[in-house]
Chains A and B, each alone.
Chain A
Amino acid sequence: DVKVTQSSRYLVKRTGEKVFLECVQDMDHENMFWYRQDPGLGLRLIYFSYDVKMKEKGDIPEGYSVSREKKERFSLILESASTNQTSMYLCASTNSGGSYEQYFGPGTRLTVT
């Protein structure tokens, strides 16, 4: 079975802190994604990566950056956390080609106070 893991299920940070969210997948997938999910807004794509060291902005990249140094690991970085970044963050991965089924991690619920 595909497994996508995220470093934390719940995280509380203060405004202005630098926050790292990590995601690891074990299926050798090329493509990895970071989303945030908010009530009434659904899943919105923040960044994605289609190869090691390659990244592309999604729909809402402002205030975020990403890092992909190894194929299995994709990190989301909040350079200076703000209260409007309080959200559920979901990581996903998929292969290139094929059905494009995305496999999700369990999510990290981040609260910025």
Chain B
Amino acid sequence: RKEVEQDPGPFNVPEGATVAFNCTYSNSASQSFFWYRQDCRKEPKLLMSVYSSGNEDGRFTAQLNRASQYISLLIRDSKLSDSATYLCVVNPSNNAGGTSYGKLTFGQGTILTVHP
């Protein structure tokens, strides 16, 4: 089983639509969770961190369900500029109990295309 699994898509949605991406992770001791965005031929950049209580940043809402080891990202009122690949990212715990040195495990990414 992959450490972080995402539906690769692609998702093709019209402007103004609401779209949701899901992600599951296998390491129940994982500590931190993120969504990164990667534009075509560009490097990944942090979109938002994901907190247990859920968090919102404008049109973007991220949620974490530790019991189900599940992370989601909801985008409301999609814009053309939201077209990108969205990467689900997890900071796994170090099983030896030491620091993870900031290592992150990336999902394959979900491709989103927003069309007029």
Which residues on A are within 8 Å of B, measured CB to CB? Answer: 30-31, 33, 35, 40-43, 45, 48, 50, 56, 90, 94-96, 99-102, 104-107
Contact = CB atoms under 8 A, between A and B. Distances in A.
B106 A43 contact: yes
B104 A31 contact: no
Size range of the chain B interface in the assembly: 20 to 34
Determine which residue in B46, B101, B109 has the highest number of CB atoms from chain A within 10 A of its CB, and name it.
Answer: B101
A104 B106 CA distance: 13
A50 B109 CA distance: 26
- Secondary structure class of chain B's binding surface, majority of residues: loop
Contacts of A99: 32, 49
B61 interface: no
B1 interface: no
Given A99-B32, A100-B32, A101-B46, 6 more contacts: A30-B101, A31-B102, A35-B106, A45-B103, A102-B102, A104-B44
Interface string B98-114: 01111110111100000
Contact of B102 (A41, A43, A95, A107): A95
Contacts of A90: 43-44
